[in-house]
């Protein structure tokens, strides 16, 4: 019996998936995809050539993408990727490369302190779970509740056996129309986010003052657990090179010639052969001295292990640049959020082979009742001018709604490209 039959896959769903796969294959074969691929490699290699723009919608699926039709979990996973790729190309036509494959990743995971953090989601008017949620914090008082913490748990796909089995199943479904590639996304490390989920923003900030030694113990334990997890992944052969179309932290991709491109060398792969990603947006408002002592000093122990690093999310990185972030010698991509001093940061990274990864304000697309072309163009022009002499990437990914006007993404991309043409100076 074939794997397809064993999965109980409905044949009309299978036919539907194959039609979607054929459409993605047609898009992937367009000559422009090879041109874009070359531009992404140049950008991530630190070359100052063509600025690039892309979108990544993170709102409710049904607002932007077609309804899902597959009931089979395996086919639905494939369907989601296919629909995203087709939709982005046909409605936005940004600079993303639509590949001639779908991707899957090893199911390695870590559960810090052995405790899953529960959530209660808000309910929308239609009775469905909304995007808003309340976290069920483990600790309200760090000293009183520290004893609740347990040993960190991990799962590692030894020898990549699990992901290769799934790869084989997907290949049978796609029947040669598209390939199935195993990707290793950038290893993400956001220690501040983990601390926040355990004790809330308010209690985390209070703990720094009330129990500084105990907070150091919390962060030191967390750091050592992550370092051991990384050691175990390397030892188990559960790591892959990721200089390709693997996902990179802030809604980007790992294309680069500056990391190994193959798993066939005579030595084991280590994290020094890969991209990593880190951020600390939960520490906004903290003094540079406290950030360095309680957070950055721990993160640095982990990020030093990566070959290349992508750093930052929504935090204004200029506040901690001089005291901490400038020490990240393997940093190749830096997030420039709407709250960042753009001109200052551009001056600091110019000539350092660091990508100016700009995340524009989402207000123009997600908040404003009427999309203001002129105001949006001025907003983008300011960033493009500031990034002169830097590799420039603009990513729209904080838009949680398009206000029922999906064309806003296409308009935003078109205006951004217009500003590239007018103002970008390599």
pLDDT digits (tens, 9 = 90+) for 177-219: 999 999 999 999 999 999 999 999 999 999 999 999 999 999 9
Residue 380 reports pLDDT greater than 90: yes
The per-residue pLDDT of the chain, averaged, comes to 95
Residue 44 near residue 256, CB atoms below 8 Å = yes
Q: List CB contacts of 165: < 8 A, sequence separation 6 or more.
A: none
Residue 346 banded pLDDT, cuts 50, 70, 90:
very high
**pLDDT for position 201:** 94
State mean pLDDT over 365-386.
98
Residue 192 near residue 282, CB atoms below 8 Å = yes
Residue 5 banded pLDDT, cuts 50, 70, 90:
low
**pLDDT for position 296:** 97
For β-strands 129-135 and 247-248, DSSP reports them as unpaired
**pLDDT for position 310:** 98
Q: What is the DSSP string of 122-176?
A: EE-TTSSEEEEEEE--S-SSHHHHGGG----EEE--GGGHHHHHHHHHHHHHHTT
State mean pLDDT over 28-36.
98
**pLDDT for position 263:** 67
Residue 1 banded pLDDT, cuts 50, 70, 90:
very low
Structural domains in the chain plus CATH codes: 3-423 (3.20.20.210)
3-state secondary structure the chain: CCHHHHCCCCHHHHHHHHHHHHHHHHHHCCHHHHHHHHHHHHHHCCCCCCCEEEECCCCCHHHHCCCCCCCCHHHHHHHHHHHHHHHHHHHCCCCCCCCCEEEECCCCEEEHHHCCCCEEEEECCCCCEEEEEEECCCCCCHHHHHHHCCCCEEECCHHHHHHHHHHHHHHHHHCCCCEEEECCCCEEECHHHHHHHHHHHHHHHHHHHHCHHHHHHHHHHHHHHHHHHHHHHHHCCCCCCCCCCCEECCCEECCCCCCCCCCCCCCCCCHHHCEEEECCHHHCCCCHHHHHHHHHHHHHHHHCCCCEEEECCCCCHHHHCCCCHHHCCCEEEEEECCCCCHHHHHHHHCCCCCEEEECCCCHHHHHCCCCCHHHHHHHHHHHHHHCCCCCEEEEECCCCCCCCCCHHHHHHHHHHHHHHHHHCCC
**pLDDT for position 261:** 78
- Give the residue with greater pLDDT, 266 vs 39: 39
Residue 84 reports pLDDT greater than 60: yes
For β-strands 308-311 and 275-278, DSSP reports them as parallel
Q: How far apart are CA 411 and CA 293, in angstroms?
A: 44
Q: What is the pTM of this model?
A: 0.94
* 3-class state of residue 65 by DSSP: coil
- Give the residue with greater pLDDT, 7 vs 229: 229
**pLDDT for position 328:** 97
**pLDDT for position 2:** 56
């Amino acid at each position: 019996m074939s794997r397809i039959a064993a999965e109980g896959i409905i044949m009309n769903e299978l036919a539907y998936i194959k039609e979607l796969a054929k459409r993605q294959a047609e898009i992937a074969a367009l000559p422009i995809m090879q041109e874009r691929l070359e531009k992404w490699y140049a950008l991530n290699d630190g070359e100052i050539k063509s600025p690039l723009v892309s979108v990544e919608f993170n709102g409710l699926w049904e607002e932007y993408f077609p309804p899902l039709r597959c009931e089979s979990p395996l086919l639905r996973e494939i369907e989601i990727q296919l629909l995203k790729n087709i939709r982005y190309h046909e409605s936005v036509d940004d600079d993303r490369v639509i590949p001639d494959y779908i991707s899957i990743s090893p199911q390695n995971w870590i559960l810090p302190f052995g405790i899953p953090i529960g959530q209660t989601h808000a309910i929308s008017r239609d009775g469905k779970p909304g995007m808003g949620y309340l976290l069920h914090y483990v600790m309200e008082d760090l000293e009183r509740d520290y004893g609740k913490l347990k040993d960190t748990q991990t799962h590692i796909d030894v020898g990549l056996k699990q992901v290769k089995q799934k790869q084989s199943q997907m290949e049978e479904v796609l029947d040669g129309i598209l390939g199935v590639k195993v990707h290793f996304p950038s290893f993400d490390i956001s220690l501040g986010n983990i601390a926040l989920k355990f004790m809330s923003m308010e209690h985390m900030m209070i703990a720094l003052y009330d129990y500084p030694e105990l907070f150091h113990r919390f962060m030191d334990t967390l750091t050592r657990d992550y370092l051991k997890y990384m050691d175990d992944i390397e030892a188990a052969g559960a790591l892959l090179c990721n200089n390709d179309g693997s996902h990179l932290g802030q809604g980007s991709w790992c294309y680069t010639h500056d990391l190994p491109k193959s798993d066939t060398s005579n030595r084991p792969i280590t994290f020094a052969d890969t991209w990593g990603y880190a951020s600390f947006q939960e520490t906004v408002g903290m003094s540079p001295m406290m950030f360095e002592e309680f957070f950055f000093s721990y993160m640095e122990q982990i990020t030093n292990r990566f070959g290349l690093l992508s750093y930052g999310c929504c935090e204004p990185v200029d506040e901690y640049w001089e005291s901490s972030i400038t020490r990240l010698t393997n940093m190749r991509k830096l997030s420039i959020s709407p709250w960042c001093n753009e001109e200052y940061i551009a001056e600091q990274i110019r000539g350092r082979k660091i990508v100016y990864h700009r995340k524009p304000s989402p207000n123009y697309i997600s908040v404003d009742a009427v999309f203001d072309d002129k105001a949006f163009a001025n907003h983008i022009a300011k960033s493009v001018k500031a990034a002169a002499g830097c590799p420039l990437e603009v990513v729209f990914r904080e838009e949680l709604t398009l206000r029922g006007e999906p064309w806003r993404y296409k308009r935003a991309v078109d205006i951004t490209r217009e500003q590239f043409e007018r103002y970008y100076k390599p």
